[in-house]
Chains A and B, each alone.
Chain A
């Protein structure tokens, strides 16, 4: 039994699914559109809630898939299904025959320019959470120049019909608090403010992270959504928000404003997804069979989904889903 399983996407979900499928005696094949495996997680510096280096996890995962057949810089350009399974045409003109397909295409980061009132791309000192993470990893960002006051805006591109995303992006709250601590570590004299609506500390150790921000890092949490950002004469940012707990609108001058961008479905897979006849759910992510026992299944027999292509989720959740998809594929092959 050496059946081929096509895995589209070489991020956390794709790598973990491949690892498990290989252990089950199947032949996973990863097709990754970028130049290396690892996905978004490979760009992160440390992981919440315990500041664990992301590199550790990614390196372990990479090590596990070193024997898995992998195509880099490659995309699936066409896919057909017949009685023998799936036949995928790759952008390098090779074809892959597989018995099952796992879509592990993950997410895109919300383009912060779309929320124009926050001034990303207009004002120099507005940055995204992804860029801040890169700063932590590389120590380099021209915008961060010994800042005295830093603000974080939650829910950028999430819970917001004005950008057509009504869902909660799940991980931004925890990420914001993690990054707030980290920036205080780098600049101990800086004041850090987060502008939140709800702090959704849903996982193990997450609430501890929140307590840490209050006890050890003195992160000031203001309940209210930033609505406008402008620049003063000195090029510093002036933000407007309502302090909803105090019940008054406030203005604040900041050196850096970090936008906690939401996850959106990775749209580069749309054409293949349509060919496979898999619809999107109301949030624009892939529609799975159901959110309980059928969470990895789709409307197309033999096509499975895992990870952030179904909904925004954290790394542990993604790994769990990748393992579960492997089981589902195994059962499908041996049905």
Chain B
């Protein structure tokens, strides 16, 4: 539907044109990825998150909202220490996903 006008730039996430390629690829090798309840344990415990904006919970959302570049930038901070994987109540293999994103 075209109302004949639009506001540009809009800050909306354009869900109609979100590119989910990376997320879907991750989902194939890590089916648990969808069980995330966004509890934030990974972020709260994150060693890198102590100093930076690193947050796996948000990173996962970024991938689902088409912000892949932001996500990849965030991973640069990660120390791969594995605390997030250890605390995740859903048993998501976060460390593996972090590595897989970069492949």
Q: What is A's interface to B at a CB cutoff of 8 Å?
A: 117, 155, 159-162, 197-198, 223-228, 240-244, 247, 249-250
* B90 vs chain A, min Cβ distance (A): 6
Interface contact B49-A249, CB-CB below 8 Å: yes
For the complex, what is the distance from the CA of A224 to the CA of B38, rounded to whole Å? 8
Interface contact B89-A241, CB-CB below 8 Å: no
A159 and chain B: residue at smallest CB distance: B89
Interface contact B89-A160, CB-CB below 8 Å: yes
Residue B41 at the A interface, CB < 8 A? yes
**Residues of B contacting A225 in the complex (Cβ-Cβ under 8 angstroms):** 39-41, 44, 89
Instruction: Say whether chain A's binding surface is mostly helix, strand, loop, or mixed.
Output: strand
Given A197-B37, A225-B40, A243-B40, is A162 in contact with B88 using a C-beta cutoff of 8 Å?
A: yes
Interface core residue of B43, B46, B86 (most chain A CB under 10 Å): B43
**Residues of B contacting A240 in the complex (Cβ-Cβ under 8 angstroms):** 44-45
* A175 vs chain B, min Cβ distance (A): 19
**Residues of B contacting A250 in the complex (Cβ-Cβ under 8 angstroms):** 44
Interface contact B44-A228, CB-CB below 8 Å: yes
- Per CB-CB distance, the 4 closest pairs between chain A and chain B, nearest first, are A242-B40, A225-B39, A161-B91, A160-B89
The B62-103 residues at the A interface (CB cut-off 8 A) are: 86-91
For the complex, what is the distance from the CA of A243 to the CA of B49, rounded to whole Å? 13
**Residues of B contacting A228 in the complex (Cβ-Cβ under 8 angstroms):** 44-45
A160 and chain B: residue at smallest CB distance: B89
A-B contact count (CB 8 A): 62
B53 and chain A: residue at smallest CB distance: A248
Interface contact A162-B39, CB-CB below 8 Å: no
* Residue among A155, A197, A198, A227 making CB contact with B44, cutoff 8 Å: A227
Interface core residue of B38, B46, B86, B89 (most chain A CB under 10 Å): B89
For the complex, what is the distance from the CA of A160 to the CA of B46, rounded to whole Å? 18
Interface contact B37-A198, CB-CB below 8 Å: yes
A224 and chain B: residue at smallest CB distance: B40
**Residues of A contacting B91 in the complex (Cβ-Cβ under 8 angstroms):** 161-162
**Residues of A contacting B40 in the complex (Cβ-Cβ under 8 angstroms):** 223-225, 227, 241-244, 249
B37 and chain A: residue at smallest CB distance: A197
**Residues of A contacting B39 in the complex (Cβ-Cβ under 8 angstroms):** 155, 197, 224-225, 242, 244
**Residues of A contacting B89 in the complex (Cβ-Cβ under 8 angstroms):** 155, 159-162, 225
Interface contact B46-A249, CB-CB below 8 Å: yes
24 contacts between A and B (CB under 8 A): A159-B89, A162-B91, A197-B37, A198-B37, A224-B44, A225-B39, A225-B40, A225-B41, A225-B44, A227-B40, A227-B41, A241-B40, A242-B40, A242-B55, A244-B38, A244-B39, A244-B40, A244-B43, A244-B57, A247-B55, A247-B58, A249-B44, A249-B46, A249-B50
Interface contact B44-A241, CB-CB below 8 Å: yes
* B77 vs chain A, min Cβ distance (A): 13
A239 and chain B: residue at smallest CB distance: B44
Interface core residue of B45, B50, B58, B88 (most chain A CB under 10 Å): B45
